[in-house]
Amino acid sequence: MEKKHIVVAGSGFAGLESAFLLRHYFKDKIKITIISNEENFLFRPNTIYIPFGLEPEELQIPLKEVLPKYNIEFIIDKVQDVDPESALLLTDNHKISYDYLILGTGAAMRPEEIPGLKEYANTIWTPKEMLQLRRIFTKNHSKS
């Protein structure tokens, strides 16, 4: 009997936790594939320390090194569409068939939805924005 194939779109907390839990529960009775456009997992809760000196690289976990240890296939690609009728996940470079699909693609920041936020505020959604906040903080406090 062929193993059921579970495809996980996304490699953040939801995607990884789903894949690890399924691997733990079903052992090697299933095939698991994670598709993500990110090579690394970013541990977001600690990004709050970036403005105070923590380097973003310290929060990156390379998925190519971790996932094979759990017998989880990892494909770096951008998801474009899902064809539920054919049970296919369509990416920029692949058509991946699945028996079960988990969409764990995460949240996104949309500052344009709050008038003035983009123009007048500093956000902390990405490490890049955290580094910008660090530069502003350092610049303002180096004058003292």
User: Looking at residue 143, what is its pLDDT?
Assistant: 61
pLDDT of 90 reads 98
Is 24 strand, coil or helix? helix
Q: Which of 3.50.50.60, 3.40.50.720, 3.90.1210.10, 2.30.40.10 would CATH assign to domain 4-110?
A: 3.50.50.60
Mean pLDDT of each 10-residue bin along the chain, 144 residues long = 95 96 97 97 91 93 97 97 97 97 89 88 87 86 64
Residue ranges per domain, the chain? 4-110
Q: Give me the pLDDT at residue 84, please.
A: 96
118, 111 in Cβ contact below 8 A?
yes
Question: Does residue 51 contact residue 130 with C-beta atoms inside 8 Å?
Answer: yes
- Which residue, among 101, 107, 105, 143, has the nearest Cα to 125 in the 3D structure? 107
Label residues 32-66 b or e (16+ Cβ within 10 Å = b): bbbbbeeebbbeeeebeebbeebebeebeeebeee
The DSSP H or E segment spanning 118 is helix 117-120
